[in-house]
Amino acid sequence: FDGLFLYDFIQDIRHQGVHVVTYAMGWAASMASVLSQAGDERIIAPNAWYMIHEPSSLTWGKAGDIKREAKMLEELHDQLCTIIANRATLSKAEILSRSMDKDWWMRADEALEHGFFDRIGIPRRNDAQA
């Protein structure tokens, strides 16, 4: 949920006219796969990996508590895939399907092909100063 706060915060500063570039270096996995979508420009390093998966949680309690937690996690997965699909070449249904019950790992070229990034590259000095 802290990641959703940060995603919304980045969207707010973008709407205020701040140009945001997100970089995925090494890997962008789990909530970082969502946060990487927050930028005006999304760049992945040539040797980086990208991973999308279902949210996880630890649940303790009665059967009803566990059912409610599972329902919330399904709704959260849907919400996160909506964010990711917003600029991708794949539909939300395709992203949900590919990330259900497993970690879906992609090389930089695969993530670019699916529209999760705008280009493959490395941070340049001018990018960091922008």
| Catalytic residue annotation | 30, 53
- The H-assigned helical ranges of the chain are 2-15, 31-35, 63-85, 92-99, 108-113, 125-129
Both tokens assigned to 128: 């960091």
Compute how many other C-beta atoms are within 10 angstroms of the C-beta atom of residue 124: 11
Compute how many other C-beta atoms are within 10 angstroms of the C-beta atom of residue 41: 15
